[in-house]
Chain A
Amino acid sequence: MRPPIISCSQLVELVSDYVEDRLPVQERRRFEEHLAVCGPCRAYFDQMRDTIRLTGELREEALDPALKDAAVEAFRDWKGT
Chain B
Amino acid sequence: MLAYKFLHPGHRGLYSGYTWPVGEWVDVKGTLVPSRRGIHACRERDLAHWLDDELWLAELDGTILEEERMLVAGRGRLVSQVPDWDGSAMRELAQACLERGRDYPESGDAEGWASHPAGAVSAIYMVAHAAGLGAEEAGGAYDAGFDDERAWQAGWIARRFGLEPLA
Binding site for B on A (CB under 8 A): 1-2, 21, 25, 28-29, 32, 35-40, 42-43, 46, 49, 53
Contact = CB atoms under 8 A, between A and B. Distances in A.
B49 A39 contact: no
A53 B159 CA distance: 39
Interface of B: 8, 14-15, 17, 33-36, 49-51, 113, 116-122, 124-125, 132, 136, 142-143, 146
Contacts, number: 52
B50 to A, nearest CB: 6
By secondary structure, the A interface counts as helix
A39 B15 contact: no
A39 B120 contact: yes
Contacts of A2: 132, 142-143, 146
A42 B118 contact: yes
B142 A39 contact: no
A17 to B, nearest CB: 13
